[in-house]
Amino acid sequence: MELLEEKYNHSAERLDKPSQYLIKRAVRRQNFDNLQKSLHSKTVYVGNLSHFTTEEQIHELFSKCGSIDRIIMGLDRNKLTPCGFCFVVYKLEEGSLNAMKFLQKTILDGQSLSIDLDPGFREGRQFGRGIYGGQASQEASSENGQRGGFRGRGGFRSRGRGFRGGR
Amino acid sequence: MDSYNPGKRSRDDFESDNYAAPQQQFEDENAESKRQHVDPTQELINNVCKDIRRLGENPNIANQVADVSYISNPIVAEFEKIDNLRNAILSTIYAVIIEQPQKINALSNLILICNSKNFVVAKYVIEYLHAKAQTLLDSIAPKKEEADEDVDEEDAGVFNNLKSILKFLATLAPIIEGYSIINIFKQFLKLAIDLQNETPDNRNGTAQEIFYNSLIAVPYLFSNDFSQELIDQVNELVALAKDFKIVESATNTLLQPFDSKLDNYKLPYEPVKMIDLIYNAILTLQGEEKDWVNLKHKLFLDFSELLASIIEEALQNNPISNALVKHQLPQLSLPTIAQVQEYKPVGSIDKLWKENSRVLFQVYNSTEFETVPRIDSYFGLFFKDLSFDILTNLSFNKNEASIQLSILDLFFSKDLFAPPGSSIDSLTMIHEDNKSGENVPPLSTWKIEDIAVESILTMIFQLPVTLYREIYYYTVLISCCRESPESIAPVFGRAIRYFYNNLETLDYELKLRFLDWMTTQISNFEFSWKWDEWVADSQKFKHLRHHPKKNFIKNLIAKEVRLSNKNRIKDSFVAVNPETSEMVNLEEFYQYLNISLFEDETKFILDYDTALYNQEGTREILEKIHLEKREQLAAKPAVFAQEEIFFNFSLPELPLHGVASKVYDFVVAHWKPNTDFDELCKEILEATKEFPDINGIKFMINLIFQTYAYIGSRSIYSVVSILSRDVNKLKYLSGSPIEYTEQEPKFEEQEISPEEITDRQNWIIESIFRVWIHQPQEVFLILEYLIEFGILKPENLVLKTLDLENNLILENVSCMESMNRVLFNSSIATDKGDSFKKLILLLFNAITRNLNAISGELQEDKNEIIKITKDIEDPEALEVSKRIDQEWLFYEYKGLLKSYFRRYIKNSEIDYLSDIREIFDTIENVPAKDDMLQWLDEVSP
């Protein structure tokens, strides 16, 4: 897989590539289509949002990386309220790569954002996949007392290990 | 030799200070997962390349050199045998040279040591870089078929990259045969001189860049060699540089970060151009005796003793040759003068040089002693140059860029800087001791944090445009701050105060960038700021709307609210009472939490709706409805933006509520054909006929557009999706040309005059103003989409924002930002034709008209400079305030015009100059006119 090969043409890691989560999942499933798609995607997945963060706030921050086509808020499957993630679809590929490079770990509403390239939004993915309808990773972290208490919120350390909603 | 400086932090100290940087975590995770599968060769390659990338990051230079010697072993052993290893090493070396040029000296240690162990490594490296340089030069005159190749937008440009290669090759002087590296320097200097001489009266930016780059690289020649022979050769080189002719336009006000407002204010400093400084800086470094004693051991770390012993030992043990092997470095084949003249740089820094005189930006020059090296000294230029390169070439990893900038001191002479994180107080003490002679020799007061932050701010405040999106630089600053908050936060505080204190003169566009940066910065640190510092100003400028400081405070808070919410921002307005140590709420700022588009929201809504219905008695009904809704909202613990919308049309108390409900049902339902919409419009118009005082079309437009906005109010993208569903219907209302799809039923042809179209479009704009008055960013986002869909013409919105009653473009930050996007989108529209030029001329005409109206109202002598009243004796005096406001309004419009001139007229491919001159000639205030005509002289070839 060309994507996984190190090319030694930079003096540091590029931040605008898919996360280990996507790569590991692709390797595990031996299916690299999504990974390939995410490389040229105009969409980013944004996780670890506060449940009260609005589309407008996300627009305000993410439009600094390029013109936005639309934002799809991740919703609790049952309550249809925001549940901590969203997809930002840019008009150009440049926008999503910029978001990866520049906005990773930026604080919005007191939360450190986790951003990943996304193979593209499909209807249905806006809903949380946790047992209770919310985002699975957040539900998991609040069920597990130890983890939930860590950093006071489903912080980024649990990222990549938990089962993320919406994807 | 005292090689270890305990004051310096290594990269690892840096990362362990806080939580592991994400980058680090990522790499470790990566390494762990790879270790299971990776074959030993691959692992060796990975490790060697990682070591090369980290060269020079060890603060103990004895250990550093020992490490380098250790790293060199596998390289010299396997370099010739494993092709992949060799290729990976060569590309990594090149990447480090270009992306992290601060490591050039450390990298050259590696090559010097390798050369003594196995000269083939050095030979390869030198040949590889020579070939790279040649490829870069060849790309200047691309062959036709190559012209369309993918361009790398992250690239800093051919000549900027050549500079770093030149620096590196210069450090290898001791192993290059016959100092032939000097010839390459001469080649470039001659090219610069000839290129500029080709057009003796016009500035050639590329020539300036080549000249600057060659000279900034010259001192690297002395990195590892200080022989008299080399000194003589370099002196010859410097003598050659004397022949370069600096050609510049008489003034460069367009690119200056500060504007004196026609000498109403003193500039914080006289801006200087890089090109004017470099030659003299080199002469000073060379010294009167031309012995370069000002450079020796003062800038580059002195590795000579450590290296000498390793190299000697290696040569003794070298089975092939015990003598130092030197390598050939042939001259480069340069492009012709004509080819360089034709060169259209893609790379960002090359482009900056070509199109603009480069003016240096200064922030930390207000203390009694230097916290950054003097801007006109070689050291000052040197660190700026490195920082710009790191920032530009490492943009794909903001974390790495911030780490490297924060530890920049590590790579250079250890006494050059004060210990990292030194406070201004401790530096003041050092300065006092230096003055009193207690410190012999005097200790440095330079702060590495100041250099790093000033360089990043220079890039944020780069005119005419930043090289990358501003957010990149903001987040590098945020990363710096997260790495070491205690030492960086005060550095930011000083910068923010400096800009705030100079807001009166700060360039108009830079004020917007300052707003944007500060909002992003503090939003990442819980919005904390020493707000108490600004209370007095807010009170003093109480009745002023256009004073830059008042405007800044208001719009900063508005932008914060947009990124967060009113309650959170309200909670940030606190200060500690120094006497009681209690927290005090700063109620002064609560007024700014209302971010409404117009000052008195309620009055605006009531006036607007009353005029729309134009019926006796409706005002009272509207007031009652309004009051009830306000009470309802006040009772709620939390209010969403969409709940705050006053949408009344379908209330039974109001006339025409029946037809209003039909409109609501129409919009909320699924898509319906044009014929249904046509019928609906007819029904509305028919219904309005019952009320002869109502303007039917205006009412219909308000009803329909407000309904769309209201129904979509759950989120911006809901409104966008319903608007995009019904584009042609809305175009029919706005009088815009409609493009039908094949089977779409057509509307009847309407006969409407251009004036009627303008009226209709203005009503549309006003209706959106009305419905989202409390959230200006929503207003402008919706209007921008209406323009994108072709429902509105940008001209109408632009004129609306410039109306002198409200001056929205100056007063409201959402409007300012929106207009910049509207203009930008129009400028890149593919089918723009002449329409963009028309839009720009309309904009310039309108602003000019405003300037004349304001100067007329101020009734100044036309030949006199409009004076800005600075002493505000009584902030409550309304008449005086009104006048001062007009004075500011004049200069703010002038500043706005300047920013548009710089963005759209300077360096434009469209020829505007004669039209713009005609417009500027109509300016009535003579000093202002003369000043603006000067802008034209600056851009005229």
DSSP structure string for B323-362: SPP-B--PPP-PPPHHHHHH----SHHHHHHHHS--B---
Can you tell me whether residue B504 is helix, strand or coil?
coil
**Residue A165's pLDDT is what?**
35
For residue A157, is pLDDT > 60? Answer: no
What's the pLDDT tens digit per position in B194-229? 999 999 999 999 999 999 999 999 999 999 999 999
Mean pLDDT value of segment B604-633: 94
Q: Which residue is associated with the tokens 């006494």? A: B415
**Residue B379's pLDDT is what?**
97
Residue in B with minimal Cα distance to A110: B526
Strand partners, B412: B300
Q: Phi and psi dihedrals of A126, rounded to 5?
A: -75, -10
**Minimum-distance CB partner of B524 among A15, A64, A106:** A106
Least-confidence region, from A114-128, B392-406, B922-936 = A114-128
Q: How many Å is the maximal CA-CA distance in chain A?
A: 48
**Residue A18's pLDDT is what?**
86
* B contacts of A6 (beta carbons < 8 Å): 46, 49, 88
**Minimum-distance CB partner of B92 among A8, A20, A108:** A8
Q: In Å, how far is B926's CA from the nearest CA of chain A?
A: 40
Query: How far is residue B111's CA from residue B277's CA, in Å, rounded to a whole number?
Result: 33
Go through the domains of chain A in sequence order and give each one's CATH number.
20-121 (3.30.70.330)
**Minimum-distance CB partner of B95 among A10, A54, A72:** A10
**Residue A37's pLDDT is what?**
82
Question: Which residue in A1, A11, A51, A70 has the most chain B C-beta atoms within 10 A of its own C-beta, making it the best mutation to test that interface?
Answer: A11
Share of chain B above pLDDT 70, in %: 94
**Minimum-distance CB partner of B397 among A15, A66, A110:** A15
Residue in B with minimal Cα distance to A97: B396
Query: Which B residues 103-132 touch A at CB under 8 Å?
Result: none
B416–A contact, CB cutoff 8 A: no
* B contacts of A71 (beta carbons < 8 Å): 715-717
pTM exceeding 0.90: yes
Query: How far is residue B334's CA from residue B430's CA, in Å, rounded to a whole number?
Result: 50
| 3-state helix vs strand vs coil in chain A, percent to 5 | 35, 20, 45
Q: Where in chain B are the domains?
A: 39-355, 629-807, 834-941
Decide: B359 and B252 in contact? Cβ < 8 Å: yes
Question: Which residue in A3, A8, A86 has the most chain B C-beta atoms within 10 A of its own C-beta, making it the best mutation to test that interface?
Answer: A8
Cβ–Cβ below 8 Å for A105 and B715: no
Distance of CA B830 to the CA centre of its chain: 25
Can you tell me whether residue B532 is helix, strand or coil?
helix
Which of the two residues, A92 and A120, has the higher pLDDT score?
A92
Residue in B with minimal Cα distance to A156: B22
Query: How far is residue B217's CA from residue B165's CA, in Å, rounded to a whole number?
Result: 9
Mean pLDDT value of segment B157-180: 96
Cβ–Cβ below 8 Å for A56 and B30: no
Report how far apart, in Å, the C-alpha atoms of B855 and of each of B543, B659, B893 are. 20, 48, 11
The CATH number of the domain covering residues in B39-355: 1.25.40.180
Q: Are strands A111-112 and A107-108 parallel, antiparallel or unpaired?
A: antiparallel
Q: In Å, how far is B75's CA from the nearest CA of chain A?
A: 16
What's the pLDDT tens digit per position in B834-846? 889 999 999 999 9
Mean residue pLDDT across chain A: 79
* B contacts of A64 (beta carbons < 8 Å): 469-471, 516, 520
Mean pLDDT value of segment B664-671: 94
Least-confidence region, from A125-129, B22-26, B498-502 = B22-26
* CB neighbour class for B282 (10 Å; exposed up to 12, middle 13-18, buried from 19): buried
What's the pLDDT tens digit per position in B364-423? 987 889 999 999 999 999 999 999 999 999 999 999 999 999 999 999 998 999 999 999
For residue A23, is pLDDT > 90? Answer: no
**Residue B20's pLDDT is what?**
39
B724–A contact, CB cutoff 8 A: no
Q: Phi and psi dihedrals of B818, rounded to 5?
A: -65, -45
DSSP structure string for B709-751: HHHGGG-HHHHHHHHHHTHHHHHHHHT------TTPPPPPPP-
**Minimum-distance CB partner of A8 among B88, B399, B564:** B88
What's the pLDDT tens digit per position in B124-143? 999 999 999 999 999 997 66
Question: Which residue in B75, B97, B396 has the most chain A C-beta atoms within 10 A of its own C-beta, making it the best mutation to test that interface?
Answer: B396
Cβ–Cβ below 8 Å for B396 and A12: yes
Cβ–Cβ below 8 Å for A102 and B469: yes
Estimate the crossing angle of helix B378-393 against helix B158-171, to 10 degrees. Answer: 120
Query: Which B residues 880-919 touch A at CB under 8 Å?
Result: none
**Residue A26's pLDDT is what?**
84
For residue B120, is pLDDT > 90? Answer: yes
For residue B108, is pLDDT > 60? Answer: yes
**Minimum-distance CB partner of B469 among A13, A15, A98:** A98
Cβ–Cβ below 8 Å for A110 and B526: yes
**Minimum-distance CB partner of A56 among B100, B523, B777:** B777
Report how far apart, in Å, the C-alpha atoms of B535 and of each of B343, B553, B578, B694 are. 53, 10, 16, 47
What's the pLDDT tens digit per position in B433-476? 999 999 989 999 999 999 999 999 999 999 999 999 999 999 99
Q: In Å, how far is B551's CA from the nearest CA of chain A?
A: 20
Mean pLDDT value of segment B157-169: 97
Decide: B893 and B508 in contact? Cβ < 8 Å: no
Decide: B581 and B593 in contact? Cβ < 8 Å: no
Can you tell me whether residue A54 is helix, strand or coil?
coil
As a whole number of Å, the CA-based R_g of chain A is 15
Q: In Å, how far is B484's CA from the nearest CA of chain A?
A: 16
DSSP structure string for B73-132: HHHHHHTTT-HHHHHHHHHHHHHHHHH-GGGHHHHHHHHHHHHHH-HHHHHHHHHHHHHH
**Residue B615's pLDDT is what?**
92
Query: How far is residue B853's CA from residue B858's CA, in Å, rounded to a whole number?
Result: 9
| 3-state helix vs strand vs coil in chain B, percent to 5 | 65, 0, 35
